[in-house]
Amino acid sequence: MTERPAVLSVRGLSVRFLLPGGRRVAAVTDAHFDVAPGECLALIGESGCGKSVLASALLGLLPANARTAGHAHLGDLDLLTADERTLARTVRGRRIGLVPQSPAAHLTPVRTIRSQLEETVAQLTGVRGRAALRAAAERAAERAAFPADHLDRHPHELSGGLAQRAATALALVGEAPLLLADEPTTGLDRDLVDRTVDELRRHVDADGGRALLMITHDLAAAERIADRIAVMYAGRIVELADAGTFFGAPGPRHPYSRGLLDALPDRAFTPIPGMPPELGALPDGCAFAARCGRATDTCATLPALTGSVACHHPVPAVRDLVTEDIRA
């Protein structure tokens, strides 16, 4: 069996913001990962670590003071060097469906949800004719659990949760091969979180060629649908792990990943001490060392991502633990 090429292949992606006075913010550094057909990769990490900036880089939506390096291949297209015309006409909505972090900002305020859905259906699919467009828009709403009796409302007449579902419905219309969801469950209660992420999962499963990159703070949502987890800290991906291994036994290996899990109310409920560093003033070595119980002098040098973890003192893998036991 030949392995199918990744839907998205990110290689050495870095984003710097240039600030007045020559200051630089290292928002994303050397990100390296693939998202395979049929796969859901969840990108997790504390607020401000660079997750949304990474997503904006893939969509060509960075502000003018941003500089990128590296590659991000979507099929044969490098998203980082594609021109704005290509990105606007063929990528956003068509090849990448975006579920945005702030849905209110992505909905047109003066138009009803129904008219926005119908317009998007007309733009991105072959559906034509009033009745057919109306039916297709209603199906799109239903897929994202958006209530039919709210379709004729304007965005400002919707709760945050309903606006989120409207944005999800719009993102699914184009049946894009890559779905990029930035906090798709913000403001939803648990029941709707489950429905929303299940719908995203179905979208991926419906056609084996699709993939989902989901940015989230909600580890329960990540556990529910992700195949793999990417953990970001201070702009770097510090661990890539299979979701079963990450949430089950033996668990993640990076001390930061462990800290994220231990902070959960249904686990140890112990927050990670301290705060992440400023991305404009990162230390030379491991950016997590200042908060890390396993840190030593070695951590003053930057740990490379070897295997699937960037740490000088990762928590031992089970096999190593067993060996330690036998020796003891």
The contact set with Ni ion (CB under 5 A) reads: 51-52
Residues 6+ apart with CB under 8 A from 84: 60
Which span (41-49, 92-100, 123-131, 261-269) binds ligand ATP, by CB under 6 A? 41-49
Which span (50-58, 75-83, 221-229, 283-291) binds ligand ATP, by CB under 6 A? 50-58
The residue (of 53 and 151) whose beta carbon lies closer to Ni ion is 53
Residue from 3, 21, 47, 269 binding ligand ATP (CB under 6 A): 47
The three-point CA angle 150-212-80 to 5° equals 110
The residue (of 29 and 168) whose beta carbon lies closer to ligand ATP is 29
Residues 193, 111 contacting (CB under 8 angstroms): no
Q: Which does 254 bind (CB under 5 to 8 A by kind): Ni ion, ligand ATP, none?
A: none
Q: Which residue is nearest to Ni ion (CB)?
A: 52
Which long-range contacts link 65-68 to residues 24+ away (Cβ below 8 Å)?
Answer: 65/17, 65/18, 65/19, 66/15, 66/16, 66/17, 66/18, 66/27, 67/15, 67/16, 67/17, 67/18, 68/13, 68/14, 68/15, 68/16
Residue from 16, 51, 254, 313 binding ligand ATP (CB under 6 A): 51
Which span (44-52, 83-91, 104-112, 130-138) binds ligand ATP, by CB under 6 A? 44-52
Interaction between residue 192 and ligand ATP (CB under 6 A): no
The residue (of 38 and 48) whose beta carbon lies closer to ligand ATP is 48
Residues 199-238, interacting with ligand ATP (CB under 6 A): 217
Residues 228, 42 contacting (CB under 8 angstroms): yes
Separation between Cα atoms, residue 22 and residue 247, nearest integer Å:
42
Q: Could you give phi then psi for residue 251, rounded to 5 degrees?
A: 90, 170
Separation between Cα atoms, residue 55 and residue 197, nearest integer Å:
18
The residue (of 63 and 265) whose beta carbon lies closer to ligand ATP is 63
Using DSSP's 3-state secondary structure scheme, residue 123 falls into: helix
Alpha-carbon torsion 304, 310, 313, 317, what sign? negative
SS (H, E, C) 55-88: HHHHHCCCCCCEEEEEEEEECCEECCCCCHHHHH
Residue from 7, 10, 13, 25 binding ligand ATP (CB under 6 A): 25
Residue from 7, 42, 49, 72 binding ligand ATP (CB under 6 A): 49
Residues 271-290, interacting with ligand ATP (CB under 6 A): 279
Amino acid at 291: R
Q: How far apart are CB 51 and Ni ion at their closest, in Å?
A: 5
Q: Could you give phi then psi for residue 38, rounded to 5 degrees?
A: 80, 0
Which span (6-14, 29-37, 40-48, 267-275) binds ligand ATP, by CB under 6 A? 40-48
Q: Which does 47 bind (CB under 5 to 8 A by kind): Ni ion, ligand ATP, none?
A: ligand ATP
Interaction between residue 29 and ligand ATP (CB under 6 A): no
Which residues bind to ligand ATP, rule: CB under 6 A? 17, 25, 27, 45, 47-53, 63, 65, 217, 279
